[in-house]
Structure 1
Amino acid sequence: MSECPHVPGLPRPEPSAAGETCLACRADGSDYVQLRLCLQCGHVGCCDSSPSRHATRHFEDTGHPVMRSYEPGESWRWCFLDQTII
């Protein structure tokens, strides 16, 4: 894992009201595999292995560059801009 220039200064927000679920999946009735947390705003979305890929869609809509796994026992982060685990 490496650092990237997009990590310093991120606000490290609390998860959105969704908490333990992807609100977009809940709204459209989709299933999800795992959750991801946006480190810019706290949006919780489903991973790319999920049919709707809401975490990636959130990046595409907002440009928020870094997310982390929101699964118990996992702490890795992903930078969408650098396409790397950090």
Structure 2
Amino acid sequence: MIKITNTSEDVCQDCVKQDSTWVHLRMCMTCGYVGCCDSSPNKHARAHFETSEHPIIRSIEPGEEWRWCYIDEQYMRP
């Protein structure tokens, strides 16, 4: 269920805690969690899905508006 559509977060807090880096940021549209993408070393957004079962994320990168469903493994229209 989509509940959260926007965030002011601009870091992966889990990467910050681990003194790690990320490539791109993704936001969970169920709870607003912001994590790093699958191209990042720690893949925190995917790990969040695997533990929470919140299936839909969106890119929070400037100029990107796409969404992704982990269950269907498909992009979704905004």
Deviation track 1:19-75 (CA, whole Å, cap 9, x = no partner) reads 100000000011100000000000000000000000000000100010000100000
Pair 1:44-2:34 in alignment: yes
**Aligned residue pairs: how many?**
76
Give the fraction of aligned pairs with identical amino acids, expressed as a percent. 47
Which residue matches 1:11? 3
Distance, in Å, in 2 between the alignment partners of 1:37 and 1:69 is: 6
TM-superposed deviation, 1:11 = 1.0
Aligned residue for 1:36, secondary structure, equals strand
TM-score (norm 1): 0.83
Counterpart residue type for residue 2 of structure 2: L
Residue 13 of structure 1 contacts residue 41 of structure 1 at CA under 8 Å; is this kept in 2? Answer: no
Counterpart residue type for residue 10 of structure 1: I
Between 1 and 2, higher relative CO (CA 8 Å, sep ≥ 6) is seen in: 1
TM-score (norm 2): 0.91
For residues 58-77 of structure 1, the aligned pairs below 5 Å read 58-77=48-67
Distance, in Å, in 1 between the alignment partners of 2:52 and 2:45 is: 11
**Runs of 4+ more than 2 Å apart:** 12-16
Distance, in Å, in 1 between the alignment partners of 2:24 and 2:51 is: 20
Show structure 1 runs of 5+ residues with no match: 1-8
Which residue matches 1:81? 71
Q: Which has the larger radius of gyration?
A: 1
